[in-house]
């Protein structure tokens, strides 16, 4: 191991259990899982605490900002990300070999992430197939009892956590998060990866909690998926239909992403060629301002982040 192989995450040390200490404990619990970074060391030095992790390369957010992703490649990566939610190995049509992916590893180990976003996916794009890793577990929590599999009870007065543009509707409303919320954040991650933008990402909107929430509530599935293959509407519709403690149909979601990633039509790689709309699937109604049509200045790295750390 060399210095180039290590990434350091540094925080100010506290007397009480810290967010960084919690993150280290989650990494330890997930040790050995595909798509999870290897942890080398955790400790305190003077007024700081440090986690030493395996260096994983480039974040998905950096790839998006460098305009290296087309829509087809976005869905190829997305297929791998969704497989990480699954409870068993499956074959990917579009990839020669498949590991159980990060989110599958996370959920099968009884955890949810609660801050799924492009900056928290690391992509080793030189690999074939590309390797995808999930990082930053400071907000991760167990969603069920590992011994009994009893699900965490639903509550409507939770702290709001996550990164505002990618936060699920339920999470943004202060509801207890579950597997469906990680998947909803994945929806926004995929759309952002495909377009470099989200409908609520305008400079005058993106830090306004209530406006962003109302826009998420009022936008239809077809509006949200504009410019993407129509089958992706089924992906969004399934996730939006999930009850709090219901297990998602990961195989169905994976099959949709595989179908999209295999598409070799010219339309898929041309963002200006809108695909024919499917039948409308409205999201829960709400009154909100009209969605801005384009916000090229949006950078996910600068989006507001909410934490339940006191």
Positions marked active-site: 115
The token pair at 151 is 């699900």
Listed residue (249, 259, 235) closest to 94, CA to CA: 259
Between the alpha carbon of residue 278 and those of residues 79, 199, 260, 307, the distances in Å are 22, 19, 15, 37
Instruction: For residue 129, say if its preceding peptide bond is cis, omega within 30 degrees of 0.
Output: yes
3-state secondary structure of 137: coil
**Residue 236 · residue 225 · CB < 8 Å:** yes
**Residue 167 · residue 194 · CB < 8 Å:** no
Listed residue (231, 183, 193) closest to 77, CA to CA: 193
Q: Are strands 6-12 and 48-54 parallel, antiparallel or unpaired?
A: antiparallel
Query: Which residues, in sequence order, are bridge partners of residue 84?
Result: none
CA dihedral (247, 248, 254, 260) in degrees, to 10, reads 180
**Residue 54 · residue 7 · CB < 8 Å:** yes
Q: What is the 3-state secondary structure (H, E, C) of 275-297?
A: CCCCCCCCCCCCCCCCCCCCCCC
E strands, 14-96, are: 39-45, 48-54, 58-59
């Amino acid at each position: 191991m060399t210095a180039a192989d290590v990434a350091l995450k540094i925080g100010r040390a506290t007397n009480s259990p810290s967010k960084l200490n919690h993150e280290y404990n989650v990494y330890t619990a997930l040790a050995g899982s595909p798509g999870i970074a290897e942890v080398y060391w955790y400790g305190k030095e003077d007024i700081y605490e440090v986690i030493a992790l395996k260096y994983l390369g480039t974040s998905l957010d950096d790839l998006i900002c460098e305009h290296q992703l087309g829509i087809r490649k976005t869905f190829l990566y997305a297929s791998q990300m969704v497989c990480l939610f699954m409870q068993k190995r499956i074959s990917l049509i579009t990839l020669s070999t498949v590991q159980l992916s990060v989110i599958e590893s996370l959920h099968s180990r009884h955890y949810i992430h609660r801050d799924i976003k492009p900056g928290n996916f690391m992509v080793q794009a030189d690999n074939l197939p590309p390797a995808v890793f999930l990082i930053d577990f400071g907000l991760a929590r167990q969603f069920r009892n590992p011994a009994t599999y009893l699900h965490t009870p639903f509550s409507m007065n939770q702290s709001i956590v996550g990164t505002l543009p990618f936060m699920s509707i339920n999470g943004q409303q202060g509801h207890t998060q579950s597997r469906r919320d990680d998947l909803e954040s994945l929806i926004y991650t995929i759309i952002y990866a495909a377009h470099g933008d989200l409908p609520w990402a305008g400079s005058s909107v993106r830090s306004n909690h209530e406006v962003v929430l109302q826009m998420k509530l009022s936008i239809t599935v077809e509006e949200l998926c504009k410019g993407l293959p129509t089958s992706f509407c089924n992906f969004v519709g399934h996730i939006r239909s999930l009850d709090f403690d219901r297990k998602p149909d990961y195989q169905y979601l994976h099959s949709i992403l595989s179908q999209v990633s295999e598409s070799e039509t010219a339309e898929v790689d041309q963002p200006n060629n809108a695909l024919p709309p499917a039948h409308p699937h409205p999201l829960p109604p709400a009154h909100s301002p009209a969605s801005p049509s384009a916000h090229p200045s949006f950078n996910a790295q600068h989006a507001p982040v909410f934490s339940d750390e006191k």
